Amino acid sequence: VRARVMEVEESPDVGYEDVGGLDDQLREVRETVELPMKDPELFETVGIDPPSGVLLHGPPGTGKTLMAKAVANQTDATFIKMAGSELVHKFIGEGAKLVRDLFQVARDHEPAVVFIDEIDAIASKRTDSKTSGDAEVQRTMMQLLSEMDGFDERGEIRIIAATNRFDMLDRAILRPGRFDRLIEVPNPDVTGREKIFRIHTRSMNVADDVDYAKLAADTDDLSGADVKAICTEAGMFAIRDDREQITMQDFENAREKLEQDADAASAEPS
């Protein structure tokens, strides 16, 4: 059961250099997650507790998981990921048990970064908290908070949560000692997009005519994940055309294809 719902990676092969355009966010993640792991004495000397939990919020595909993996890698920590939706179960006590298992796995693999994606699945504001399903979800959240209270501040286990629906979160989880560091992770601006294009083409066979600044300028409102998708798709265009090198035209075609796919998806009745 464990293996199915939890993802455990000894040392993810992602570094800070793979994250584009999130300099401020990365600095904050390092300060709150990396520093307490690498230099716990610093916090003791100064006499403050490091932040307990960090919450990353922003639209899908902006690099939240990527940053969590990078900080795990850079601190030689095990990366343990679970989706909040996996913690929502019909049976009473099952969500809480999974949370206990999750922290047991983290203790067995110290130092560890625990990443809980879609935290809103277990921490949404509820209009009707009296139905039994909601009560079970709340118990799961309480278990998570009590596990966070339970460990000492030496920093061997750090918790990062993420959500695309910050406005829906129950404010109780944002209280001091809980997820008290909020980091907004927005879509990249034009400079960020150019960096992300460069990151994802690093190992691609790219022709000299490829203009990264132009690609970045033409991809307003796209996420980092979209930029990555354009790079992969550009490679596919070259392959279909029986070429080994990817040209600017391939990138333009890929960008148009992604736009069309997005339009088609938004036109579909949901």
Distance (Å, whole) CA 160 – CA 53: 6
109 is in an annotated binding site: no
Q: CB-wise, 64 or 178, nearer to ligand ATP? A: 64
Q: CB-wise, 21 or 50, nearer to ligand ATP? A: 21
65 is in an annotated binding site: yes
Query: What is the binding site for ligand ATP (CB under 6 A)?
Result: 19-22, 60-66, 117, 162, 164, 188, 196, 199, 224-225, 228
Q: CB-wise, 55 or 96, nearer to ligand ATP? A: 55
61 is in an annotated binding site: yes
Point out the residue whose Cβ comes nearest to ligand ATP.
224
End-to-end CA separation in angstroms for the chain: 32
62 is in an annotated binding site: yes
At closest approach, how far in Å is the CB of 173 from ligand ATP? 17
Q: CB-wise, 69 or 109, nearer to ligand ATP? A: 69
Q: CB-wise, 96 or 185, nearer to ligand ATP? A: 185
64 is in an annotated binding site: yes
Distance (Å, whole) CA 261 – CA 126: 34
In terms of Cα–Cα distance, which of 174, 264, 186, 133 is closest to 24?
A: 186
At closest approach, how far in Å is the CB of 136 from ligand ATP? 24
Distance (Å, whole) CA 203 – CA 218: 22
At closest approach, how far in Å is the CB of 159 from ligand ATP? 15
**Binding site residues, as ranges?**
61-66, 200
**Binding site residues for ATP, as ranges?**
61-66, 200
